Amino acid sequence: MSPTLVSADLGVRRLLFAAGQAPSVYNTQPWRFHVVPGRRIELLADPDRRLRVADPRGRSMMVSCGAALFNLRLAVRYVGRRPIVWLLPDPAEHPLLMAAVRTADARPVRGENRELYELIPVRRTSREPFSDRPVPPSVLGDLRIAASREGASLVPLDAEGVAEMLDHVALAEDELSRDHDYQAELAAWTMPGARFDGVPAYAHGPRPARDPAPVRDFGRHERDARFEEHPQLVVLTTQGDRPIDWLRAGQALQRVLLTATRHGLSASFLNQPLDLRDMRRRRDPHHRRGHAQMIIRLGYGPQVPGSPRRPASELERQDA
């Protein structure tokens, strides 16, 4: 049987709902979907939700779209089909088209894929303090395998590497704090009352009691708190630094985050050095561990509420 996609069988809204639960920079949710009945679902970048100052190359937007694509793949498998994915199928004529997804016959989903799909609504970004319980090497090993399955690498940092990374984050944060355009864009997505979505006030987390802080500071806190003494940081890398690598990074990121959720881990991000790199339109020099795409803090933290999501009616583009 040729690959196809039958809307009535798959329940397209269910698929798009799952895709729309993906993590994204500042909860921008920069994606839309075009359903071609009986043929495919297209994932498109939403340029109105791109961060023009912080993300001039579109890297963060495409990483976010890659995470949505991974959720879409899981949802297709959950309904008993196999996703067939074309990344950037027509970059010259359709630069906003991130991926096209068709489906083929498959055995009913079971095991890991089913469990990861069911964790999609459970996964959260948490800027709360984590416990001092270390992440076991076996769990970090599972996360590294998860990244490798999507063509990326996950590099855990040792104590010296964490200290050096936190210094880099603090320096980048200090420089970004003096960029008025960057701060205005940040405020548009994080300040209370600015939008119905973005990062809500309740997700900002407390103010760290010491520096350098292992969490992103959005400038508004209702309380202070002591964060973990020895944070666990990992860096998600890809061998290349092109748009197709950014999409792969996003898929790897979401597989890693769902696998972390499976192990009871929480996660947040410290991407200020990457924002600064993108704003300067610099590319990483090639090195053995690849190009950094995400800086992730992992640990055992409390449950937190989810961030608001775009209405389903906004996600599906009706025009051809």
pLDDT tens, position by position, 58-81: 999 999 999 999 999 999 999 889
Taking 70 as the threshold, does the pLDDT of residue 294 lie above it?
A: yes
Helix, strand counts (H, E) of the chain: 10, 10
**What local confidence, expressed as pLDDT, does residue 283 receive?**
64
Give residue-wise pLDDT tens across range 98-117.
999 999 988 877 788 999 99
Range 57-62 contact pairs with CB under 8 angstroms and sequence separation of 24 or more: 57/278, 57/281, 58/243, 58/246, 59/246, 59/274, 59/278, 59/293, 60/25, 60/271, 60/274, 60/275, 60/278, 61/25, 61/28, 61/30, 62/98, 62/243, 62/246, 62/247, 62/250
Q: What is the pLDDT of residue 291?
A: 94
33 in Cβ contact with 42 (< 8 Å):
yes
Whether the CB-CB separation of 134 and 300 falls below 8 Å is answered with no
When pLDDT is averaged across residues 206-220 and rounded to a whole number, the result is 84
Both structure tokens of 35 = 């359903």
d(CA 15, CA 79): 9
The residue-averaged pLDDT of 226-235 equals 96
d(CA 39, CA 301): 43
The alpha-helical segments, DSSP class H, found in 198-271 are: 243-262
- State the DSSP code for 133: P
pLDDT at residue 285, rounded to an integer? 56
Q: What is the pLDDT of residues 241-293, one digit of tens each?
A: 999 999 999 999 999 999 999 999 999 999 999 999 999 877 665 567 799 99
